[in-house]
Amino acid sequence: MINTRLILALLITLGLTSCAVSPPAPDELALAHDQAGILLSQGQPQEAAEIYWRQAQLSSTAAREELQLLALETVLTRQTLGRAQHYRSMLDETRFQGELLVRKRLAEARLALLEDNPEAALAALPSALEDLAPKRTHQILQLRADALQASGQVLQSTEIRIELDRQLPDAEAQRTNRQAIWQSLQGVDVTHLQQWTQQSTEPVLKGWLELAYIGQTSPDQITDLQRRLNDWQKSYSNHPADLIATQKILSQWQELHFRPRKIAVILPFSGRYASIAKTLMIGISTAYYADHEHQPNTAVLQTYDLGDQPQNIQKLYEQAVAEGAEVVIGPLQKLALTRLMRITELPVPVLSLNYTDSDIQPPANLYQFGLLPEDEAKQVAERAILDGRQHAVVLTPTGAWGSRLAETFTERFEILGGLVLKAEHYQPEGSDYSAPIRRAMLLDESQQRYRTLQETLNRKIKFEPHRRQDVDMVFVAAHPRQARLLRPQLKFHYASDLAVYATSHVYSGKLDPQADQDINGVIYCDIPWNLGELNPRPDLRTSIEESFSDLGRKLPRLMALGLDAYRLLPHLKRLAARPHARYTGLTGNLSLNDSRRMFRGLNWARFTKGQPKVIYPDLRGQTPP
């Protein structure tokens, strides 16, 4: 039996084929190029692309895909993003082969990057793509590196650019590629640079990483910087980074390094904050005299007493400037700092030793530095998430300090995907914290269930309280006395298996193994000054404790803050100009945000046998959020 439907379909197909437009002659393709070129020269890329696209509709299969690609490639800009997306949606990948398929994938990758979708760009560039069109390898590697960079995979991007560097045909292309490597590594914090360097075995990559680390951690003296660069050059002779980066590091150091000749210190040397000011000043003076061992008589320290009158800060600041101060350390009180914030212009830089609570953008020359507890609470949240903790309960003291830390931890923990199940406050002056612990662990609910069941059955039953099972950590904000009470009471209330994380406040900074046995197992963050093996200047700590035994041992973090305040002065301009630059300080791995607020990346320790033992030794502080 004859299939009439099949015959009808064949007739229709033949009819359509007979009416099809003949393939364009080469001069027609050239004409399309000429017309599009004129429009492009007039700044009309969309109209030029439309020329190619219309011609594609009239062309044979052989030329059609070429013209479609030309249309898409012509509008791969942010300004013509919509038109490019339209053309992409009209392409049929099954009709593309060989080099045309490679060009299509390259165009899709560029479009994905314009759409801020680097994952889609990487998906469009499979590893086997180079085999289809070897002459396009440079473009493929370049786009793959750009996509990895955009997705935050800087190390992998650098590895691709190093591979690309070996294949580039001319010196100018290599120079551009190497500058891209160096620029991308400037956006990496020193913690990752250090880790990657330790893990790397490929010499060229290791050389790039080590040089970037040197650039991000410039020393105080240019002679030290030159020595480090010379050592690098000896280790990596003929390295491609040498011509690009070494001179740049030196010139940036000279441009951004700041060594004042007269330093004013404005602190409350009298009044209720006098002991704090005295401790800070011991730290500042110790750093000053240690500095003079290398450069005698290079600077003068002048002190100004603000006392209990923070309203006088502007007058004292103006007096210090009039007397030749090139930089000011202080003030300490928040009220004084708030008053400085209102000054439109500060003629010389100020490094305060506290932070304001104000959201007002500070004057350009004001830098804020201190021991901010909220930064510690954020880093505890980050550390817990990295350790795989997902569900937390929070125990903080009543009052503003405890509430701020609980709020800060909760916000950061939940942004990172964790969940705070319960937050409770304890009375810091008390000794029995059973009530808030029982509420946090839902032990009261367990007890109530037991009573209800006993009343229902009307007989005594065996009972053992059970804490909640949906929690895997406890965040504690506490000073040493409270911490030594909280940890044993958590154990007593069936929480001995839970990880306990805390801020630095749990440790006095003075070794006391007998008393601190009670906080064994607690993981906490602290400054390098308090963690012997990580302290870069143990000699200074020994000297201070021998000379100023009471303050040196009682207030070690304030002592370190004073030391860093002086040591930071030459680096303020560099830290402000380079967002990812770091200074390895005694109070942490220091960096500045856009508002010139100093962030302290801290180290981690766990109490073992009553003593802090460093954990995660390769992490020299965390990255600011």
When mean pLDDT is compared across 191-205, 305-319, 399-413, the lowest value belongs to 191-205
How many residues are there in the chain?
Answer: 625
Give the domain ranges of the chain.
28-183, 189-256, 373-538+581-615
The angle subtended at Cα 195 by Cα 184 and Cα 215, nearest 5°, is: 45
| Comparison of pLDDT for 220 and 345, the residue scoring more | 345
Question: What is the mean pLDDT of the segment spanning 174-203?
Answer: 86
Q: Is the pLDDT of residue 523 over 50?
A: yes
Q: Which fold, 28-183?
A: 1.25.40
Spatial contact of 91 and 70, defined as CB atoms under 8 Å apart: no
pLDDT digit string (tens) for 370-416?
999 999 999 999 999 989 999 999 999 999 999 999 999 999 999 99
pLDDT band of 16, cuts 50, 70, 90:
very low
Q: Which CATH superfamily is domain 373-538+581-615 in?
A: Response regulator (3.40.50.2300)
pLDDT, position 55: 82
pLDDT tens per residue across span 249-275:
888 888 888 888 899 999 999 999 999
Q: What is the pLDDT of residues 65-124, one digit of tens each?
A: 888 888 888 889 888 989 889 988 998 888 888 888 999 899 999 999 999 899 999 999
Under the banding of pLDDT at 50, 70 and 90, the label for residue 494 is confident
Residue 451 has pLDDT above 60, yes or no: no
Quickly count: other Cβ atoms within 10 Å of residue 532's Cβ.
13
- Output DSSP code: residue 116: T
| Selection from 89-93, 449-453, 559-563 with the highest mean pLDDT | 559-563
Question: DSSP label at 529?
Answer: G
| 527 pLDDT higher than 70 | yes
pLDDT(19) > 60: no
pLDDT at position 147, please? 92
Q: What is the pLDDT of residue 93?
A: 87
Angle at 283 between CA 557 and CA 219, to 5 degrees: 95
Kind of pairing, strands 589-592 and 583-584?
antiparallel
Mean pLDDT of 292-309: 83
Average pLDDT, the chain: 85
Given a contact cutoff of 8 angstroms between Cβ atoms, the answer to whether 203 and 236 are in contact is yes
Predicted local distance difference test score (pLDDT) of residue 308:
95
- The Cα–Cα gap between 341 and 338 comes to 5
Given a cut of 80, is residue 245 above it in pLDDT? yes
Question: What pLDDT, in 10s, does the model give residues 455-481?
Answer: 555 556 554 566 678 899 999 999 999
CA geometry: angle 210, 211, 213, nearest 5 deg: 65
Arithmetic mean of pLDDT, 165-188: 88
In which band, very low, low, confident or very high, does the pLDDT at 587 lie, cut at 50, 70 and 90? very high
